[in-house]
Each structure stands twice: as C-alpha cells, then as structure tokens.
Structure 1
Amino acid sequence: MPIQLDIASALALTPGTASLAPGVGANTELHLSSPFAHEPRQHVRTALERAARPDYPDWLRHVESAAACTNPIRLHGTLATVNTHTGEILAHRHTTTLPDGVIYKACGNRRHTVCPACATTYQHDAYHLVRAGLVGGKTIPDSVRTHPAVFATLTAPSFGLVHTRNVRHCTCRDKTRCTCRAAPCHARRDAPTCPHGIPLVCWQRHAAGDEQLGRPLCADCYDHAHHVVWNHHAGELWRRTKQHAERHLNQLARQRGLPKIRLSHGKAAEYQARGAVHFHILLRLDGIDPDNPDAITAPPDGITTDDIIAAVTLAATTIAYTTDSHPTRLDGWPIAWGGQHEIRPITLSASGDALDDQAVAAYLAKYSTKGTEVTGHTSRRLTPDTIDLYANPHGTHPERLIAAAWTLGQTPEWAGLRRWAHMLGFGGHFLTKACRYSITFGSIREERAAYRRAQALNDGHPRPEGHPETTPFHRQANLDTKTDETTLVIGFLTYAGTGWHTTGDQLLANTAAAQARERTRAGHEELAHHTWEQSSSTPLAA
C-alpha cells in the first residue's frame, strides 16, 4: 500500500501552546531534545520517537481500527458504559485518558485514489453483496443459483468525435491491460475539417494510457451541455429501460401461460475517458409469490436468458425521452442510450460467451471504487468560491464540462447540475441494487461490528498455549441480547480533526496494518493448503 507522507502535523499551531480541543488545529511539531534529533527525515524521526515511548503498544492497540486509513477521523468527548437492561450508567470516561486524547475512526471513503485501505474494504463488501445475489448466502436463498441472469453494459451516445483506441479483436485476458495493436483513431481519406478549421482525422494508434484518449478532436464542436445533461438523467433513463424490459418479459409470460416475473438488478456506474458514465448491470430473473411479494422465489421455467437478452436489447434500442425545457434550449435535450451495448449470460462456470458469477461480482466491486479520475479531474463538491479553480468554458475537456454543468445549473429547476458539477453532472450512487436483489451494505457492516465486538469480549481468555481465545461469530441481534455480560458503550463525541498527528504516526500505523494483513493472508493460504492436503490424502471410495 502506498504511504503518503505529506499529512500535516496535528499538534498546536505554536510550539508550547495548547489546542482548543485534543488534536485540533495543528501543523507544527515540538523540537524537543531526543536521541533521534540527528535524523534529518521528519517522518522517520517522529516514528522513532513514538516507538520509543513506553505506551507505544497501547497506542498501537488504540489505533488498530483505523491503522490502515490514510486520513482517519479524530473524535473527542465522553464514553459512557450503560446497562442495557436497566439503563444505568455503570462508568464513564473522557477521551483525554486515551492515547493522543482522541478516538481514531477510519474515513470510510470508497475512492481508491483517496484512501486505498477504506476503498478495499468497500470493494470487498460490494463483492460479497453482488455475489450473494447470484449464488445465495447471507440470508439470500441458495435457489438463486438456478435463476437466469445476464450481465449488460450500456453506454452513452456520441456528443462529438473524441480520440479513441480501436482494438477490433482483443486477445488479452485482462482487457484493462490490453497490449494489442490498435487501429488508427479516426482514419479518413478525405481529411475533412470542422467549421472551426480543425481536421476531423487522426492517424495515431493510441496506447492504453494515452492522455489524448477521450479528448474531443474539436473542443468547440463538442456538445458539452448535452453531455452533462445526459449524465444527470442517466439514472432515469435506466429506470425506464428496466421497466420496459420487465413489461416485455411479463407480456411474454402471459402469452406462454406463465405467472408474473420481475427483474432484480445490481448496477455499477463507471466513467469513460471522455467523461460520460456507462452502466454495468447484473439482471436476475425472479418469480413473484402472491402471498409474499417480498420473498425471493424461482421464476417459471418458460423464460430463458435468451428472452432476457432480447428484452433488454429491445429496451436499450427503443427507450428515449426528452428533458424538460431549459432557457438555453427550449425544446429540451434527447436522452437515449448509445449504439454500443453488450449483454452476456451469467453462469456458475463460464463457458463460451458466458460470464461466471465471480467475474461479474469482481467487475461491479472494482467499478464501485472509481470516480472521475479517468477523466483527469478530481475534486470535492464545488462552491462559488472554488468553481473558478476547475471550470473554464475555453479550457480543457473536463473544465468545459464542469463549466457547462455550473452554467446550466443557474436555473432553479436545474440546480442539481450545480450540486453535481464536480461529478460532471452525474448525481447517482456508483453501486445501486434493487431492494430484493441482495443484502445491504448496512447489514454487512453490522455483522463486521458484531464480529469485532465478539472478539473484544473474548480478549483476556488465553488458550493453554497463551494465544487469545476466539469464540464463534455472533450476529448483532444475538450479541446485543446477551443477559448479564452485555453492556452498551455510548459515545458523546465531536469532530476533532482529520489525519494522523504526525507523519511518523501514519508510517507506524500503516506499517502495523500492512503486517497484520500479511499475517492474515498467510494464515488463509496455510489453511487452504492444509485443507487441500487433507482432501488429497483421503482415499476415493471404491
């Protein structure tokens, strides 16, 4: 994991003075005499000083929950231990009694470019969420394995010619690292020019990481306004597309004398290099139980994956609508899918043109941690004070898109474009699902919290060998309803700051977290090897 060493210190603004709250408003460090004063590198010196303290093991245990985070949240306040049966406060303490006087909490950011550790956790959660909807488990019935399912990719239309990488027959196993020889970008013998005098031809064979990819051949001809408006309405376009496909399948079911069905989906959004979003969608066919509409039941046998592919293809090629009027365009903008779309069946073991469940779950989980980085733009939500830093109607392609979204958002009915200008108009979540498709992120996080709480309750019960004893996993509900042993810790906490106190603290915490991950990985490999040895040594039945 890359370690950033440019995090400002969180000590007092002036050496020798105290902050208003623990860990607040700090950017300087005290230069006290220490045996490591000769070390010229500040992050190494502060790390050595921290490690030399007698309370260093306690500090490591204290920051364990956020050790891998790049920018943890620091909280300070009071912690109260409450009896869950009587409501009596059994004990309370202030965070000033804890190491550094604060509690560290992982930032939880889903973007890999912002915090790789938290994004990895989010990606793993997304993987299990998506895969549970395909193979069952985690309260999802195992019968979903037999439901027909497809994986579709729907793209935006063209808003102007852009530089592309044309690979007609890719033979690479990993398409994201394609090394195949590309065809010329835009090869034309007549070499026409646009009204602005720019040649609409490009003979380059762009490499995979070429900065020109996604950039318009003529930025003045490109319809940036239509682009950001399409991004803003992409979610509504998908809703109508799914509705149309589901209606078509139910009409087909009636013709075949079958009961009603529904489509359950999981969807991930990804930005193309040109800044337009496209959707990767998993569609699973379910039946409907009239007595229990929320139950996940098997669909009738008369509907196949070919029927789903035909229904989605029909919807993607026919569904279109026009937006509301805008002062700059009274007749609105047309919203429809582009001509490039791909729909493939999903099986438990990929063969031919089909995809397997693990690959689909990995695809959606990977896309869920991405953002606008591929376009060359990254920023937080923009305000009138910061918009000039990123928007320019005569600047680069991303700057023109942001300027278009900000300008169109001046109209009150279109204010959403300003709110999501930093996302090039797209305001949807990057990973969404139907309510009956699978479990939720919240349930996964509750189970993780319950597991960690169960581990904490078992601390201090050593095995004969001296290793900590770990009891079986308890779900949140079971853990919170224990009788005499269970108490509830309520925190009255406020925000104290963001980031580690020193770059040395970050180095030590991230290193400890990396070592813990390596031990876990090695343990998993050893367990898998041990299981394989046992299975291979078992004689086959005659």
Structure 2
Amino acid sequence: MPLQLDIASALALTSGTTSPVSGVGANTEASFTHELRQHVRTALERAARSDYPAWLGHVESAAACTRPILLRGNLATVDTRTGEILSVRHTSTLPDGVIYKACGNRRHTVCPACATTYQHDAYHLVRAGLVGGKTVPDTVRTHPAVFATLTAPSFGLVHTRNVRHCSCRNKTRCTCRPSPCHARRDSPVCPHGRPLACWQRHSPGDEQLGRPLCSDCYDYAHHVVWNHCAGELWRRTKQHAERHLNQLARRLGLSRVRLSHGKAAEYQARGAVHFHILLRLDGVDPDLPDAIVPPPPGITTDDITAAVTQAATVITYATSAHPDQPEGWHIAWGHQHEVRPITLSASGDALDDQAVAAYLAKYSTKGTEATGHASRRLTTDTIGLYANPEGSHPERLIAAAWSLGHPPEWRGLRRWAHMLGFGGHFLTKARRYSITFGSIREQRAAYRRAHALNRSHPGSEGHPETAPFQRQAILDSKTEETTLVIGFLTYAGTGWHTTGDQLLANTAAAQARERTRAGREELAHQQACSSSASLAA
C-alpha cells in the first residue's frame, strides 16, 4: 500500500515570511510567529524519535531547500558489465517513505538555498574562463578580455534615478544625491494631456522608478517584442564584432581569432532586459578547432572595445511581419552601453576577474522581481490574474505579450508572457569559454559520495578523496563504475512533511554552512601567516 504524506508548507525561517510560490508546497498554515509552539512541538517529536539521525542523514542533500521535491518508487542496483539487476529497494523502506531532492531553483525569491548553490556554481564557471582551472588552461589569464553592458532602447519616457557621479562602493545602496528625474524648462504635455516633466529626485526604492510618465504613450508592443528578440540581436552583435576583429587580424598578418563569452541577463525596473557580457579573445588552431589557445599578439583590449562598440551601434534588424505590425519591429540596442577591460588586478577603469565573476553570478539568480511582477508560466486560466491592458506597468506588458502571441509564428510571446516576452536563459556562455554546470554538479555529487564513504570507512587523514575535475563530455563517457543505481521514481509532492521537519533540517544545514565558513576563514588565516613568514625570512 503506498504511503500517503500530508504535505505541509515550506515556510522560510524568517518571522513573517511565507512561501513566494503559489500552488503545491505553498503556505497553507498560519504565520510562523502565531504557530511557533506547534512547530517547535513537531520538531521535538521528530528529534525524539529513534530514527532521527537516519532521517537527518537522509534529507541532508535537501536540508536547506525551502520546497524540496519528494520522489517515490523503486531503486534498482544494476551490474554495468552484465546488465544484471543485483537488488531492488523501494523508497517505503526509507525515512518518510520518499527521497528528498532539492528543488534546484535558481531564483532567490523562490528558494534562497538552491539559488545560492547556483550562484556559487556560476561564479566558478565564469571565473574559470578568466583565470583557468577546472580543465580550462591557465593560459587564458593572458587573453585580452572586456566586460560589456548593452541595454534596450527607449520605448517611452519613464521615471529614472540619475546619479551622474556615484561614489558609493555598493551601488544598490547608493546614497548620492540624484539629479531631477526629467527636468524641463518648459512644461510639455503628451497627446493625452499628461505632463512630460518630473522634478523629483527619486530614492533607490521609489515605486515610481521604471514606470512611464504616460502609460498610454508607452510602446508596450515594441517593448515585449524587443525582449523576445534580444537573444538574436546579441548573436548578430557578437558575430559582427568577431568579423571586425578577424578583418583587423588579416590586415596585421595574424591568424584567425574568435570571441568566447559569458553573458548574464538582468531586468531593469521598466521591465526591459539588458545584458552584462564577458568577452575573451581566443586564438584558433586549425588542427584543434575546439582547443582553447592564446590569441596572436597584436590585438588588445582596445581593439575588442572598438569592435564591440561599433557592433552595438550599427547592428539592427527588422522582425518578421505581424498582423498588428505588417512591416515588423525595429530591433536595435539602446544608446547607453559600456565596455571596460578586465585584468587580474584591477587598476584605473579596469575590472578584476573576481568582481566580474561575482557580478554575473549575482544576476544569474534574479528574475522579473525588479519590475514588481513574479509568477509561473501563464495559461488561459491564469492570464486574467496578471494581465490588464489598462492596469499597472507589468500588467500592460504581460497583456501586450499575450495579445501579440496569438499568431502561430509568434506563439513564443505567450509562452514567455510571465517573463515579459524574454525567453532566453539568464546565464549563457560560449561552448569553448569554460566548463559546464553539468560537470560542476557531477563533481559535487562525486565529492558527496566520497564523503559518505569516508564517514563509514575513514581514510588515513579522515578526508574524502575525489577524482580530478573533468569536463562533462568526459564524464558522460566514463564507464569505470561497476554498478549503477537506477531509480524508477514518480513525483510524490513538494515541501516538507511538517514545518518542524523544515526547522530541524534547515538548522542542521545552517550549522554545516557555519562550520564550512569557519574552516575557510581558518585556511585563509593560515595562508596569510605562511605568506608573512616567508616574506620575513
């Protein structure tokens, strides 16, 4: 008889907060503050059970997740050489009768713990492409690299916070005095009779930021179509910049080059996507086209900056025809773009590799929250909850995407209406730029397996031993394992059995993170002491 679970909410452990996602696993209980006694009681009941240590080890991989996925079914151990099934085990023999799997969501507003893991992976992925390591050759340190920011054009006047010379180290908490939003000597009005001037000096958290001065004048259709076509615009821009650099190389008598990139997308407050892009110059070996080789000397970061700037200025194209716009929409970059060189130790206007990697990783975990909207994929049953042609700014954007997506060739606008038309990934990279997320996750899984074996069979030093880091293609082709565990699993729910269970699991995960942090600080202190001692000697 299958085990039936009463899936409760997955509350965050902050007083007064609830699960941000509606539906399965959402908050169905009262506030954490009002139900504190009940949660503590269920936590104590779990901790008093004889199988508590086994349960805590069972949920370890998903302990910090706010909404873990529950899986039920059979686990078969198979001999990879003969294909023989050695044993079969049902999840009913496990604690709670299910397997807990972290949701893996990259968005901080949905699951902070899984988003932090994703952010750390993104940081190492991006930085490996700048300094080497993790199968990326160390010679990439010498490759010229730049960091570019490309923005969307204007679709209508919006409220902005204009700080001409910001001196704050943390831009998100800027306290500099901004200029007036839209200062005008005259007092112009739009055709709808609304003023086109704003003398306010908006604070960073002002709700007016990104909202149009006149919503009826704002071109919502062009806005969502631009978001939808931003990926193709970037592809053409990179292609043009690479072609420009190869023309320069031919004039200098040098061999071919190519640009490898890592790119993060970010929503502005007005709901338009803009890109933060890392571009690294590589050489091309005709005999080894997939190898990462140094570029020929003679092409500098200034040349890359000029190529990217020119491409962002001249590249433009028209979309295919639409019943509402027979001539198509004009797709081009906005006038505001910035390209800065990257060095291993920043100086002047240059950026250092750690800052760039952290910058891209941070934005890879964000979504449409900056616009004031957050939802799952919309359907005909739910579109009315979020779309309104006469409503707020996000509601009008969603309504425009849904309305324009009725022709079959434009159906993608409806599919991505909840993302305001943008259907691309928030962190992308060129195939040769760096490693993959898959290889990073496989290495983490290998470490955890070694750690689990080490706990039962400790080695001479008590530390797990893992295999060297490998690319995903190599990991996919490995056949060293003699046994394989295959899961015949089905979805059994989302969330923790009780909020007390989440309290215990999250507390254990927080203690583990604190031990890891303390260990890192101690290692950093020992390295600093060793460096000081060597310099003194």
SS at match of 1:427: coil
Which deviations, in whole Å up to 9, do the C-alpha atoms of 1:199-242 show, x marking residues without a partner? 11111100011110000000000000000000000000001111
Change (3 A) 1:469 1:290: closer
Give the Å deviation of 1:3: 1.9
**C-alpha distance in 1, partners of 2:365/2:45?**
36
SS at match of 2:261: strand
Give the Å deviation of 1:101: 0.4
**C-alpha distance in 2, partners of 1:389/1:487?**
50
Residue of structure 2 equivalent to 1:169? 165
Query: Is 1:356–2:352 an aligned residue pair?
Result: yes
Change (3 A) 1:532 1:398: same
**C-alpha distance in 2, partners of 1:129/1:25?**
32
Give the Å deviation of 1:462: 4.1
Query: Is 1:250–2:246 an aligned residue pair?
Result: yes
**C-alpha distance in 2, partners of 1:329/1:337?**
20
Give the Å deviation of 1:109: 0.2
Change (3 A) 1:75 1:257: same
Contact 1:69–1:115 (8 Å) recurs in 2: yes
Give the root-mean-square deviation of aligned CA atoms. Answer: 2.3
Q: What amino acid sits opposite 1:515 in the alignment?
A: Q
The partner residue of 2:294 within 298, 306, 330 is 298
Change (3 A) 1:3 1:410: same
The partner residue of 1:286 within 282, 286, 292 is 282
Give the Å deviation of 1:192: 0.7
Query: Is 1:46–2:56 an aligned residue pair?
Result: no
Query: Is 1:147–2:157 an aligned residue pair?
Result: no
Give the Å deviation of 1:267: 0.6
The partner residue of 1:197 within 193, 206, 211 is 193
SS at match of 1:278: strand
Residue of structure 1 equivalent to 2:8? none
Residue of structure 2 equivalent to 1:410? 406
Q: What amino acid sits opposite 1:267 in the alignment?
A: K
SS at match of 2:114: helix
Change (3 A) 1:409 1:345: same
Give the Å deviation of 1:480: 6.7
Contact 1:250–1:260 (8 Å) recurs in 2: yes
**C-alpha distance in 2, partners of 1:233/1:401?**
15
**C-alpha distance in 2, partners of 1:25/1:420?**
23
Give the Å deviation of 1:96: 0.6
Residue of structure 1 equivalent to 2:365? 369
SS at match of 1:230: helix
Give the Å deviation of 1:493: 0.8
Residue of structure 1 equivalent to 2:13? 3
Unaligned runs of 5+ in 1: 9-22, 30-38
SS at match of 1:401: helix
Give the Å deviation of 1:56: 1.1
TM-score (norm: length of structure 2): 0.92
Q: After TM superposition, list the pairs within 5 Å mapping 1:56-135 onto structure 2.
A: 56-135=52-131
State the identity %.
Answer: 79
Contact 2:19–2:26 (8 Å) recurs in 1: no
Contact 2:19–2:110 (8 Å) recurs in 1: no
SS at match of 2:302: helix
Contact 2:106–2:118 (8 Å) recurs in 1: yes
**C-alpha distance in 1, partners of 2:117/2:302?**
35
**C-alpha distance in 1, partners of 2:27/2:182?**
54
Query: Is 1:432–2:428 an aligned residue pair?
Result: yes
The partner residue of 1:537 within 529, 533, 537 is 533
Give the Å deviation of 1:471: 2.9
Q: What amino acid sits opposite 2:277 in the alignment?
A: I
Query: Is 1:273–2:276 an aligned residue pair?
Result: no
Give the Å deviation of 1:195: 0.8
Change (3 A) 1:242 1:516: same
Which deviations, in whole Å up to 9, do the C-alpha atoms of 1:17-52 show, x marking residues without a partner? xxxxxx9999799xxxxxxxxx87322221121112
Which deviations, in whole Å up to 9, do the C-alpha atoms of 1:232-255 show, x marking residues without a partner? 000000011111111111111111
Give the Å deviation of 1:54: 1.5
Query: Is 1:260–2:256 an aligned residue pair?
Result: yes
The partner residue of 2:326 within 316, 323, 330 is 330
Query: Is 1:494–2:504 an aligned residue pair?
Result: no
Give the Å deviation of 1:470: 2.5
Give the Å deviation of 1:538: 3.7
Give the Å deviation of 1:539: 6.2
**C-alpha distance in 2, partners of 1:28/1:168?**
48
Contact 2:63–2:508 (8 Å) recurs in 1: yes
Give the Å deviation of 1:287: 0.6
Contact 1:261–1:286 (8 Å) recurs in 2: yes
Contact 1:77–1:94 (8 Å) recurs in 2: yes
Give the Å deviation of 1:147: 0.5
**C-alpha distance in 1, partners of 2:336/2:237?**
15
Give the Å deviation of 1:6: 5.0
Unaligned runs of 5+ in 2: 1-10
Contact 1:454–1:474 (8 Å) recurs in 2: no
**C-alpha distance in 2, partners of 1:176/1:24?**
32
Query: Is 1:240–2:236 an aligned residue pair?
Result: yes
Change (3 A) 1:294 1:183: same
Contact 1:157–1:336 (8 Å) recurs in 2: yes
Change (3 A) 1:482 1:225: closer
Contact 1:63–1:104 (8 Å) recurs in 2: yes
Contact 1:25–1:497 (8 Å) recurs in 2: no
Query: Is 1:136–2:146 an aligned residue pair?
Result: no
Give the Å deviation of 1:189: 1.9
Contact 1:43–1:504 (8 Å) recurs in 2: yes
Which deviations, in whole Å up to 9, do the C-alpha atoms of 1:146-166 show, x marking residues without a partner? 010000000000000000001
Q: What amino acid sits opposite 1:444 in the alignment?
A: I
Q: Which has the larger radius of gyration?
A: 1
TM-score (norm: length of structure 1): 0.91
